[in-house]
Structure 1
Amino acid sequence: MNLIHNKKFLKNIAQHLNLFNTISGGVSETQVTVSKYTRGAVIKVWAASVSPESFKVMVHNNQLTIFSLLHSNDNPDLHVPMFNRVFVIPPQVNINEIEAVYHEGQLQVRLPYHSAAIRPKEIEIKQL
């Protein structure tokens, strides 16, 4: 059997290497980019051999936390943290509209801006 062409074997061995690296004090190889657009921002996270089920995205006190846990197949109670990143959410982001999408091995967290942040609004000046 040619192991190089066996994708299941390669994925399994990569996950174990990440586990051993993390337990030994290393970190998972993770790439994070933040792109800003007119209507919002997008945070893209790519982590080698991390499944979509392992990612978690939390919003609390104007902070966005993205993290992933490596689950052991042998022991379901064993969770090893692979990645953790905290972002401060700017005031122009509509927190109720934040969404996370996993596509082609990459987690994308979309942060749409409030409509008032996109279009200027003139405020009437009242005289007292």
Structure 2
Amino acid sequence: MKLIKDKEFLRNIAQHIDLLNTVGGGISETYVEVKKYRKGAVIQVKAAGVIPEAFKVLLHNNQLSIMSVLQNQEKSGVGVPLFAQTFVLPPEVDVTGIEAVHQESALQIRLPYHDAANNPKEIEIKTL
């Protein structure tokens, strides 16, 4: 049996095998749960083994996109998406107050409601 002596080749192969293992199920599946409360909503994303830096949360217009990417440690520009989901936010969400917190292998995106959403206002009907 011939041994491969090119260490760079072995390192690249090992990294690709690790990457394929991850894509093929090496990391547990991401679990997403949306909970609604009186003052707002919380999107909780649980992904065991995913570091906080792998998550990205983007807000564009009324769409909130959550994703996680496994980065190649050798080549910073190469990554494999592990999870991506987009949520259309309802008008009662105060987009200026959205915050994301990573705690105990779970990402929480807190979506506060506008004060007007909690306190309905009656509109006077005028007669012309």
Decide: shared fold, TM above 0.5: yes
Cα deviation, residue 27, structure 1: 8.0
Contact 2:94 2:112 (C-alpha < 8 Å) held by counterparts: yes
1:20-99 equivalences under 5 Å are: 20-23=20-23, 29-99=29-99
Distance 1:35 1:46 in 2: 14
Normalising by structure 2, report the TM-score: 0.78
Q: Matched residues, percent identical?
A: 57
Q: Secondary structure at the match of 2:96?
A: helix
Distance verdict in 2 for CA 1:20–1:61, change over 3 Å: same
**Deviation at 1:127?**
2.8
Which structure: larger Rg?
2
Aligned length: 113
How large is the Cα RMSD of the aligned pairs? 2.3
Structure 1 residue ranges, 4+ long, deviating more than 6 angstroms after superposition: none
Residues 60-79 of structure 1: per-residue CA shift (max 9 Å, x gap): 12111000111111221211
Give the Cα–Cα distance (whole angstroms) in 2 for the partners of residues 17 and 65 of structure 1: 29
Q: SS at the partner of 1:29?
A: coil
8 Å contact from structure 1 (residues 28, 82) kept in 2: no
The whole-number CA distance in structure 2 between the counterparts of 1:33 and 1:21 is 26
Tell me the distance in 2 between the aligned counterparts of 1:60 and 1:28: 28
CA distance in structure 1 between the partners assigned to 2:70 and 2:113 by the alignment: 32
Shift of 1:19: 2.9
Q: What are the ranges of 5 or more consecutive residues in structure 2 without an aligned counterpart?
A: 1-15
Alignment partners' CA distance in 2, 1:17 and 1:36: 41
Counterparts in 2 of 1:17 and 1:90: CA distance versus 1, 3 Å: farther
Instruction: Decide whether aligned partners of structure 1 residues 25 and 50 sit closer, same or farther in structure 2, where only a CA change above 3 A counts.
Output: closer
